[in-house]
Amino acid sequence: MMNDEYILELQHIRKEYPGVIALKDVSLEVKKGEILALIGENGAGKSTLIKTCSGAVIPTSGKIVINGKEFTHMSPQLAAENGIAIIYQEFNNVKGLSAAENLFLGKPIKKGLVIDKRAMEKEAEKAFAQLNIKINPKTLVGDLTVGYQQMIEIAKAILQDAKVLIMDEPSAPLTSAEVESMFKVCELLKEKGVSIIYISHRLEEIYRLSDRIVVLRDGEYIKTLITKDSHVDELIQLMVGRSLKETFPPREDSHSDEVILELQNVSGNGDKDIDLQIRKGEILGLGGLVGAGRTELVQMIFGAAKKTEGKMIFKGKEIDPKSPREAIDLGIALVPEDRKRHGALLGVSIKNNINMPIYKKISKASVINHKKEMEVAKKYEHELLIKTPTLHQLVKNLSGGNQQKVIIGKWLAANSELIIFDEPTRGIDVGAKAEIYKLMNEVIANGKTILLISSEMEELMGMSDRIIVLAEGRITGELKKDEFDQETIMKMASAV
């Protein structure tokens, strides 16, 4: 029998896929009007668990109990009828429709047989006012910021009388100001008695918002903690099953005086008069705020955007790559910010992804040497600790951290001399972050060079040998390791 204190209970949830047990006997309870944080490393089972609540995943066994009603599984319609709403990282908005039309998507208000836009706009105004957010109901969603698009998803859930709102990495695409607005909305909903399950890799958010924390690891329930009585070190140890004493693993200063890449007065793609040098065997960090021109700069180096002025000299020779393929052939690689869209072929196996840049080398008369192909894939599966039951597993079925490892493995297999890491740990949990940092150190130890873009100040300072800061498409400062200071970097990034 359900405890009246709980609005939602998941009892002994198990989910099996061929060759993989994603969830093993997971149980948790959500209290009425609380914010429950759900944390764990990538691959811990968080997304699978919440999808059992929405009907996107059917559990192999176990029960879902909502307000005393027991279900063996949900469907999207059943979840909505019982007050469960999920806001995924990829929103379900239709950008060509107005904010009001999106709120009533699939369930428009009608006057007779005709859709009543004015009535929908009035109801939308009320819904936005309830959440203290200012959105013109007539504005096209495609013209709104990501933060406002997320607010529309939240308003949609409230209009559907959601009693439990599940938020999957809600802050990932938002600016700091938008995150603050989202926090206020979460706190307002809590006051109104709505329960929230909040998934985030950002532990500072967990401590800011949540009442209790549930930790998952490798598909298993580990522990529930009262947030105010817990400590971040304890959380990390529970998540990863080990103590992470050094977030940033030590690395010997092994860079040489040899300049591997030099940019001389490079302009284009929004950047102006960029002068910089990267020495062989170093990690050069690029700091700056969103829109500073960092990604735009590496796009020119990687041949994905056009340089209009200046010179690029790589390994002593002037280069001007017109495409990523040209850059790759030169020995330049990019681990992109958006790994799902640009980093890996998600519908293709791990084995194929890792070998993608070297198929010409391991083929004879267009026939692939399958023995060599498997050897290469196994080598990087082992070296990078890629968690998978088989190398034939599709990359889309891996956790974010393991997807990132596959992309790194691809460029290591290609023997790239300069690897650009653009936000390498975005959306990756603390344990997987430590593994990525270790891999970056190993890349350097093998004589390669890294150009690092990171919006996380600790990561930028913890991993870089030097930092160059950009603001509004221009370099505003350079710091050596012993000069690193968060306040100084922020001043440079703000061009003050």
Dihedrals φ, ψ of 389, to 5°?
-75, -25
473 shares a domain with 408: yes
Which tens digit of pLDDT belongs to each residue from 368-423? 888 888 888 898 888 777 888 889 888 888 877 788 788 888 888 878 899 999 88
| Residue 250 in domain | no
Domain boundary among 240, 270, 288: 240
Q: Which residues pair with 364 in a beta bridge?
A: 367
CATH of the domain at 396: 3.40.50.300
| Residue 197 in domain | yes
Domain boundary among 185, 213, 240: 240
What type of residue is 162?
A: A
184 shares a domain with 64: yes
Nearest in space to 64 (alpha carbons), one of 23, 28, 35, 21: 28
Opening angle at CA 337, ends 335 and 341, nearest 5: 90
148 shares a domain with 21: yes
123 shares a domain with 94: yes
235 shares a domain with 281: no
pTM (predicted TM-score)? 0.61
450 shares a domain with 337: yes
Instruction: Give me the domain span that covers residue 235.
Output: 6-240
294 shares a domain with 194: no
| Residue 247 in domain | no
Q: Would you state the pLDDT for residue 300?
A: 95
| Residue 176 in domain | yes
185 shares a domain with 301: no
What type of residue is 68?
A: G
Tokens of 185: 């909305």
Check residue 108 and give left, alpha or beta (phi > 0: left; psi -120 to 50: alpha): beta
What type of residue is 167?
A: M
pLDDT per position in the chain (496 positions), as tens? Answer: 445 689 999 999 999 987 778 899 999 999 999 999 999 876 788 989 999 999 999 999 999 999 999 999 999 999 999 999 998 877 778 888 999 999 888 888 888 888 888 999 998 998 888 888 888 999 998 898 888 888 888 888 888 889 999 998 888 777 777 888 889 999 999 999 999 999 987 788 899 999 999 999 889 999 999 999 998 888 878 887 755 555 788 887 767 889 999 999 999 999 999 999 999 999 999 998 777 899 899 999 999 999 999 999 999 999 999 998 899 889 998 887 765 666 677 788 999 988 887 787 888 888 888 888 888 889 888 877 788 888 988 888 887 778 878 888 888 887 889 999 988 887 677 777 887 888 888 888 888 999 999 877 788 989 999 999 998 899 999 999 999 987 788 788 876 5
| Residue 85 in domain | yes
Q: CB within 8 A of 297, min separation 6: which ones?
A: 266, 269, 271, 274, 286, 470
Domain boundary among 180, 209, 240: 240
353 shares a domain with 481: yes
The crossing angle, in degrees rounded to 10, of helices 117-130 and 146-159 is: 100
291 shares a domain with 199: no
276 shares a domain with 169: no
Pair 417, 332: CB distance under 8 Å:
yes
Q: Would you state the pLDDT for residue 291?
A: 74
What are the C-alpha distances in Å from 467 to residues 191, 385, 493?
44, 29, 11
Domain count within the chain: 2
Cα–Cα distance between 224 and 26 in angstroms, integer?
Answer: 12
Give the rounded distance of the alpha carbon of 403 from its chain centre.
Answer: 11
In angstroms, the first-to-last Cα distance of the chain is 62
232 shares a domain with 275: no
